[in-house]
Amino acid sequence: MRRLAGFENITLDGYFTTPDGDIGWAHGAADPEFDAFVADNASGGGQLLLGRKTYEMMAGYWPTPTAAQNAPVVAERMNHMPKVVFSRTIDTAAWSNTTVVKGDLAATVRRMKQESGPGMTILGSGSIVSQLAQEGLIDEYQLVLNPVVLGRGRTLFDGITRRPALKLTKSRVFRHGKVFLCYQPAA
């Protein structure tokens, strides 16, 4: 059985995007320690699950020479990893190793989890996170708490009515103020 994790950046006041969907705040000042952590995390392999908006943002950056120069290890991994984009509006995906899936998100992910293969990770894609959290399909929440306050924006669990009981399984504090928090369902 495959496991599903969500890797997300959030602010101190609990938002994952500004009201208009911007996540530029998550990239702040250079932090070599955190960058090494991200590169190591990206080398874990697996399959990425993305919503259309996150897919379009990432597909516009990771295959570029700028990404290869700024984060060569992460860019190489992102471009070679298998990716699934869930969308009702696009039919094809130009980014390498990407499949477009339409239809029932929860049923599709439930089926994917039953297959053999590497683990899956949701990046960004807050509407997918909230839908799959509501269905109890996420096995691990990997949250990067950023020392940023937005005042308003979108929460990662917007609209969720089922409150999963979670337990902290890992944490790490980075020199520049980011904190990595890993939670799993308490069962």
Q: Where are the domains of the chain?
A: 4-185
C-alpha to C-alpha distance for 58 and 98, rounded to whole angstroms? 12
Q: Is the pLDDT of residue 104 over 80?
A: yes
pLDDT number for residue 64? 96
Closest CA to 128 of 104, 111, 152: 104
73 neighbors 43 (Cβ within 8 angstroms): yes
The predicted pLDDT at position 120 comes to: 95
Stronger pLDDT, 124 or 150, i.e. the higher one: 150
Residue 56 reports pLDDT greater than 90:
yes
44 vs 85 pLDDT, higher one: 85
CA–CA distances in Å: residue 11 to residues 40, 71, 142, 172: 23, 23, 14, 16
CATH of 4-185, one of 3.40.430.10, 3.50.50.60, 3.30.300.180, 3.10.150.10: 3.40.430.10
Report the alpha-carbon distance of residue 49 to residue 113 in Å, rounded. Answer: 12
| Residue bearing the bigger pLDDT, 71 or 11 | 11
- Residues 6+ positions from 12 with CB-CB distance below 8 Å: 145, 146, 147, 148, 149
pLDDT band with cut points at 50, 70 and 90 for residue 112: very high
The confidence score (pLDDT) of residue 35 equals 82
- Kindly tell me if the per-residue pLDDT of 169 is higher than 80: yes
What is the mean predicted confidence (pLDDT) over 160-182? 93
Query: pLDDT tens-digit profile of 117-140?
Result: 999 999 988 899 999 999 999 999
- pLDDT-based confidence at 171, cuts 50/70/90? very high
Strand pairing of 83-86 and 4-11? Answer: unpaired
- Which pLDDT does position 168 carry in this prediction? 97
Task: Check: CB of residue 12 under 8 Å from CB of residue 146.
Answer: yes
Q: Looking at the chain, which runs of residues are DSSP E strands? A: 4-11, 15-17, 47-51, 83-86, 98-101, 120-123, 140-146, 154-155, 166-173, 179-185
pLDDT of residue 38: 81
78 backbone dihedrals φ, ψ, rounded to 5°: -60, -40
Helix/strand/coil for 85: strand
Averaged pLDDT of the chain: 92
